[in-house]
Amino acid sequence: MFKKSKKNINENLETKTSSAAASEEVSVDEVMKKYDRESNTRIWEGVPKYIVMTIMALFSIFCIIMTLFITTDDRIRLTSFVGSALLMGYLVYPAKKGSQRVNHMPWYDIIIMVAGAGAFFYYCFNASDIIARVTHIYSYEIIIGLIGLLALMELCRRSVGVPILVVAGAFMLYAWYYFSFTKHLGPSAGGQYLIYNLFYKTTGILTTPINVCSKYIVVFIIFGAFLERTGISEYFIKLANSIAGGSSGGPAKVAVISSALCGMVSGSSVGNTVTTGSVTIPMMKKTGYKPEFAGAVEAASSTGGQIMPPIMGAAAFLMIDYLGAEYSRIITYAILPAVLYFAGIFITVHLEAKKLGLRGIPRAELPSFLKLQKQIYLLIPLIVLVWLVSSNTYTMAFSAAIAILLAIAIGLVEMLRIGVSARKSGNASAKTSLVKETAVNLGSMIFNSFANGAKSCISVIAACGMAGCVAGSITMTGLGSQLINAVLKISGDHIFIALFLTMLCCIVLGMGVPTTANFCIMATTCAPILIEMGIDNTAAYFFVFYFGIVADITPPVALAAYAGSAIAKSNPMKTAINATKLAIAAFIVPYIFAMNPVMLLMNEGVLSAILVIVTSLLGIFGIAVCLNGHLFTRVIWPLRIAILAGGLAMLVPGLATDAIGFVVVAAVVLYQYLTAKNHTPVNA
């Protein structure tokens, strides 16, 4: 969601640099271009650059006005929205990776841009006539629809990647086959009918994903661009350093905390891995962590940021639409699974540090926690946003607009603080007054935030358009019921088998797909299967969301893990395997709450909720000890299996399982403590 800017983080970080850090910075730029398609953009300089940025800034303003004030027919609103995104998309993204010529746009890109955007604008300006004709459509309008569909698919390939196109293409190909041969329309008529439904009706591109994107997501992305300019990412990293940097293996714990905080508002596993990882991974390696482990910690933590309330990389706002639940309930349901996820990683990095005998960062080199509280005002826009949305009094669009205004105000305060500090230290130019300098910087911040927000929207809009095509293809053909019947038949009505098959589908379909489109696809294809099996609606949607997200660290694709390995200069597959082990909670907890929603704290009393939280945390501790193989000393395999069984038992809600699990975990811990006390510790 809130796309992070590596440049902003590096500009704001007040840390010591060296030639080694400089060389690391070069590799980070290369990683961004290799694993984050949004970094492969055209190079605009001079006047063309400002023209392009102005177009994107105007688009951001248009989106805010549209969500707040425009109440016209959705087909008019959405076609203008997607058409504008196509114009921007082809101005920003070239046809292929690699070095780009400055201020150059090939003639064929101009043709595709004009034709593709023109197709949507044709629909926009002729919507009333097309709607009035109902099913009557002219032949040339089918061609226009095909051009618009292909242009959107090509933009999705450039800005998001091929995996989502493979998924969408497979479903659309099946829909064409269904209409052409199963319904006996013939190949030509079947293709026309498919294009008509995908382009002109609200059963394709203009369905729920793009509608939610236009109403909610883009406004929050724009807010994220403003929030990033306030220096909140730098603040999160400094705050994490002040809390955990001095403890054993401190840099890894800093990575966990800062990535959770930054990741919840970034909405990009790869982007967050690269931006925060450029700071945390070298620190972890310097402390003594192996490269594969360092890259894995950052990848797993950054990916988990998207399940971290209150933002959850925009998924929280999507779930409001799909579940019809209040925002406050959504984030309440998400709290315990997110805590368990990060607790598992945090415990594992602590155990690894103890096993390797690693120390933390010297206290003298860490920022002061008390001094950082002076900048607590940086969190005001985020806090107010959550409060407004949770109140159920204001619309999400209005809440985001207020949060944007607050972010501008906070940015102004921060600029004044920096300006006054620079003048006191004698580092500011005496020729420029503080008021003039602040006014120029504030204007630049607003302009750049609007422009960067629009740029971050492009890939999300394209992906949501493809997600709509997937949903439309499933709905039109009745494929959803066939998938449900197939899973029911294979699983033989066994819930666990159905959950396992659904997990595999989510991981495969979620590879290389942005969070928002990922959830839309999972909610359309996989969640109905679980609901049909009797799984609670909320638990089903959370289940598919979690496994769609962990696709970013699950081999063989694992884009976030590969990005982390590139920064850590480690083996990519080993890094991905380590990241999967670190994120083990994400592979276990969804099964637990799917079969017993108690873990989502649904309708639980205070004492019951406390019991679930405590026993679940102890359970995750037991699993982490098993996977790491070290507690006070090396844990032998029989005890590792025992504490794993105890941990799993405590994760399953119920007094009997909690009691049995607690006894087993406590026995292993006590045995380990006595062994360590009486013998010299043996490092694994």
The DSSP-derived string for 390-429 is HHTSS-HHHHHHHHHHHHHHHHHHHHHHHHHHHHHHT-S-
Higher-confidence position of 54 and 431: 54
What is the mean predicted confidence (pLDDT) over 428-453?
A: 84
Q: Provide, rounded to the nearest whole percent, the portion of the chain with pLDDT above 70.
A: 91
Closest to 196 measured CA to CA, from 275, 111, 116, 133: 133
Q: How far apart are CA 212 and CA 397, in angstroms?
A: 11
Q: Quickly tell me which residue has 């006539």 as its tokens.
A: 129
Q: Reply yes or no on whether the pLDDT at 202 is more than 50.
A: yes
Cα distances (angstroms) measured from residue 185 to each of 180, 370, 644: 5, 71, 57
Q: What is the pLDDT of residues 90-120, one digit of tens each?
A: 999 998 876 578 899 999 999 999 999 999 9
Peptide bond into 163 cis (omega under 30): no
- Return the higher-pLDDT residue of 35 and 282: 282
CA distances from residue 656 to 27, 409, 581, 612 in whole angstroms, order as listed: 52, 54, 28, 13
Q: What's the longest Cα–Cα distance across the chain?
A: 86
Segment 534-562 shows an average pLDDT of 88
Q: Is the dihedral of CA 654, 655, 656, 659 positive or negative?
A: positive
Per the model's pLDDT, the better-predicted residue between 419 and 50 turns out to be: 50
DSSP state of 629: T
pLDDT at 429 (0 to 100): 60
CB 300 within 8 A of CB 345: yes
Residue 117 CA neighbour count, 13 Å, CB half: 16
What average pLDDT does the structure give for the chain?
85
Helix, strand, or coil here: 72? coil
Average pLDDT over residues 334-357: 91
Would you say 551 and 506 are in contact if contact means Cβ atoms under 8 Å apart? yes
Can you name the residues that pair with 102 across neighbouring β-strands? 43
Mean pLDDT within 654-666: 93
Strands (E), 236-290: none
* Alpha carbons 278 and 284: distance in angstroms, whole number: 11
Q: How do residues 301-312 score in pLDDT, each as one tens digit?
A: 988 888 888 777
CA distances in angstroms from 229 to 380, 393, 544, listed in the order given: 14, 28, 33
The answer to whether residue 623 scores a pLDDT higher than 90 is yes
Find the radius of gyration of the CA atoms of the chain: 26
Average pLDDT for 398-411: 91
Chain centroid offset of residue 349 CA? 23
Q: Is the pLDDT reported for residue 296 higher than 90?
A: yes
- Which band of pLDDT confidence, cut at 50, 70 and 90, is reported for residue 405? very high
Of 632 and 36, the one with more pLDDT: 632
At residue 17, the pLDDT reads 36
Q: Is the peptide bond before 556 cis (omega within 30 degrees of 0)?
A: yes
**Which tops the pLDDT comparison, 535 or 430?**
535
Calculate mean pLDDT across residues 367-377.
Answer: 87
Instruction: Round to whole Å and give the CA distance between 450 and 345.
Output: 36
Give the pLDDT confidence score for residue 31 in this predicted structure.
66
Q: Where is 666: in which H helix or E strand? A: helix 655-678
What residues are paired with 630 via a beta bridge?
A: 634
Structure tokens at 114: 């004009």
640: pLDDT strictly greater than 60 = yes
Give φ, ψ of 634 to 5 degrees.
-65, 135
pLDDT for residue 21: 41
Cβ neighbors of 547 (< 8 A, separation 6 or more) are 502, 503, 506, 507, 510, 522, 586, 590
Helix (H, G, I), strand (E, B) or coil at 325: coil
- Report yes or no: 550 and 568 within 8 Å, Cβ to Cβ: no
Q: How far apart are CA 582 and CA 554, in angstroms?
A: 11
- Return the higher-pLDDT residue of 384 and 318: 384
- Identify the pLDDT of residue 49: 94
* Residue 361 vs residues 277, 283, 285, 291: alpha-carbon distances, Å: 17, 9, 12, 18
- The CA distance from 83 to 69, in Å, is 19
The pLDDT value given to residue 90: 96
Length of the chain: 684
Whether 309 contacts 265, CB under 8 Å: no
Flag whether pLDDT at 6 surpasses 50.
no
Kindly state the DSSP code that residue 215 receives in the 8-state scheme.
I
Please state the pTM of the whole predicted model: 0.84
User: Within its chain, how far is the Cα of 177 from the centroid?
Assistant: 34
Model pLDDT, residue 11: 43
User: Whose CA is closest to 355, among 634, 623, 636, 625?
Assistant: 634
Q: Would you say 240 and 257 are in contact if contact means Cβ atoms under 8 Å apart?
A: yes
What pLDDT, on the 0 to 100 scale, is given for residue 38?
Answer: 60
Q: What angle do CA 439, 237, 554 make, to 5 degrees?
A: 120
Highest average pLDDT, of 18-32, 81-95, 397-411, 503-517, comes from 81-95
**pLDDT for position 607:** 82
**Whole-number pLDDT of residue 213:** 87
Q: What is the pLDDT of residue 517?
A: 76
Q: Give the rounded percent of residues in the chain with a pLDDT score beyond 90.
A: 38
510: number of Cβ within 10 Å: 30
